[in-house]
Structures are given as structure tokens and as C-alpha cells.
Amino acid sequence: MTVDADRLRKLIEAMAQSIFAHADELTALDQAIGDGDHGLNMKRGFEAILRDVDPAAAPLPDTLKSIGMTLVMSVGGASGPLFGTLFMTLGKELPPAPSRDDVVRAGEAAIAAIKARGKSEVGQKTMLDVLRPALDAFAASEDVVQAANQAAEATVPMKAMRGRASFLGERSIGHMDPGARSSALLIAAATDTLGRS
Ligand code: ADP
Ligand code: MG
């Protein structure tokens, strides 16, 4: 798959627009089990990306690294470094014109890097609970967007074991994890722009 400057621009815009359109929802999710800043955090991050990352300046890997670094620098909270790690690792691992196998390999590396950074595992009610099943669906040529949305829904009955939501213990049960929801939004936006194969 060749991702030229035009596609990179569309990818960045699609992810940013989806985050902007859902910022209030992400905030409401984080109000329920966190500190209510997730919508604002993600919005600030993607505003900085639109401002600072030039999709025509570099090929896919370097642009992904720039997106990741911009998230780390502009977003406070847990999610900035974790989403930053996701994009930076994809940038480090993907070649300029990735194959399907390249995407699976880079996705595995990104999940491993998030786990290391967050000291977290799948099943703890975080973004990982969407990224893991979405990558499995992609590897199996299944519907990635459906898998991501179902996985975000599946965080509702989970008990949070990492991040601020874990402070609530049992009371975190019954709400969708905000980072799981934003992960599903980003996956849907990327799939819309880049296609499903
Ligand atoms: P903060 O928790 O600092 O207020 P945000 O509200 O922006 O940051 O992001 C919260 C989201 O970050 C959570 O919903 C969860 O998905 C993700 N998250 C938090 N801590 C971790 C962790 N240790 N590992 C993986 N994801 C995490
Ligand atoms: Mg928060």
C-alpha cells in the first residue's frame, strides 16, 4: 500500500475530525470514571498535529513519528504518552509502502510498546482492549471497525486496573473506557482513509 502525501493528509484530517466530533462524548466518558479531560486532551493533541505535522514533508514512517511526538508534547495525562507511543512505534516499524504483514508486525510492536510504557495488559479496561482485538481482526482479514467498536463496548462491564479509573475499583464497572472509545474512533477513521486491506 502506497501512502502518498495526499493520503497522509486525508488520514490526519479524518482522525482529527472524528476526535473533534466526539470530544464531548469522550469527555463525558472520562467524567464518569476519570477526571473528565480525555476529550480535551485528544482534541488538543490533534489540533497540534493539524498545525505542526506537514503530511507533504516526509514519507509515512516519519510522518507517523511526528504525529506521535506531537501527541507526547501537546497532550498531558496518561493518554498523550500512550497514544504517542502507538504512533511513534508504528512510524519506527513500518516501511514507506507497507504490506499487510508489515502492518500486523508494526501493530504488534506498538501494542508491546504501550504495554511496556503503561505497565498494562489486555483486560484492564484501557485502550489496549480495543487495539488488541482490532489488530487480531485485521490479521484475520475480518471487519476491523466492527471489531474495534464491539471491543470498546466490551470495556463497559470491565473493572479498571490501570489509570485513574482504577481508583474507582468496582465503581468503574458499567462505563465505557474513554481511551478504548478514542482508539475505536481512530481505527475507524484510518480504515475509512486507507481501506480495509
Ligand atoms: P488521564 O487518565 O491522565 O486523565 P486521559 O483521560 O486523557 O488521561 O486518558 C485516559 C485513558 O488512557 C484511559 O481511558 C485508558 O484507555 C488510557 N490509559 C490510562 N492509563 C493507562 C495504562 N497504564 N495503560 C494503557 N492505557 C491507559
Ligand atoms: Mg482523564
| Percent with pLDDT over 90 in the chain | 95
**CA-78 nearest atom, ligand 1:** 3
**CA-118 nearest atom, ligand 1:** 23
Tens digit of each residue's pLDDT (9 = 90 or more) over 28-44: 999 999 999 999 999 99
Kindly state the cell numbers that stand for 115: 504495554
Q: How far apart are CA 138 and CA 104, in angstroms?
A: 8
Kindly state the cell numbers that stand for 186: 481512530
Q: How far apart are CA 22 and CA 42, in angstroms?
A: 10
Flag whether pLDDT at 197 surpasses 80. no
Identify the pLDDT of residue 77: 86
Kindly state the cell numbers that stand for 116: 511496556
Is there a contact between 156 and 101 (Cβ–Cβ < 8 Å)? no
Q: Of all protein residues, whose CA lies closest to atom 21 belonging to ligand 1?
A: 163
**CA-41 nearest atom, ligand 1:** 7
Ligand 2 mean position, distance from CA 167 (Å): 12
Is there a contact between 69 and 89 (Cβ–Cβ < 8 Å)? no
Ligand 1 lining (C-beta closer than 6 Å): 30, 34-35, 37-38, 41, 77-79, 82, 114, 118-120, 126-128, 162-164, 177-180
Identify the pLDDT of residue 179: 98
Tens digit of each residue's pLDDT (9 = 90 or more) over 123-176: 999 999 999 999 999 999 999 999 999 999 999 999 999 999 999 999 999 999
- Does the pTM surpass 0.85? The reply is yes
Q: Of all protein residues, whose CA lies closest to atom 19 belonging to ligand 1?
A: 163
Q: How far apart are CA 112 and CA 47, in angstroms?
A: 27
Flag whether pLDDT at 196 surpasses 80. no
Ligand 1 mean position, distance from CA 4 (Å): 32
Tens digit of each residue's pLDDT (9 = 90 or more) over 174-187: 999 999 999 999 99
Tens digit of each residue's pLDDT (9 = 90 or more) over 78-129: 999 999 999 999 999 999 999 999 999 999 999 999 999 999 999 999 999 9
Ligand 1 mean position, distance from CA 126 (Å): 7
Q: Of all protein residues, whose CA lies closest to atom 14 belonging to ligand 1?
A: 179
Q: Which helix (H) or strand (E) holds 179?
A: helix 178-194
| Percent with pLDDT over 70 in the chain | 99
Residue 105 structural domain: 5-194
Q: How far apart are CA 52 and CA 115, in angstroms?
A: 27
Q: How far apart are CA 185 and CA 20, in angstroms?
A: 11
Q: What's the structural domain count of the chain?
A: 1
Burial 107-137 (b: 16+ CB within 10 A, else e): beebbebbbeebebeeebbbbbbbbbbbbeb
Identify the pLDDT of residue 40: 97
CATH code assigned at 107: 1.25.40.340
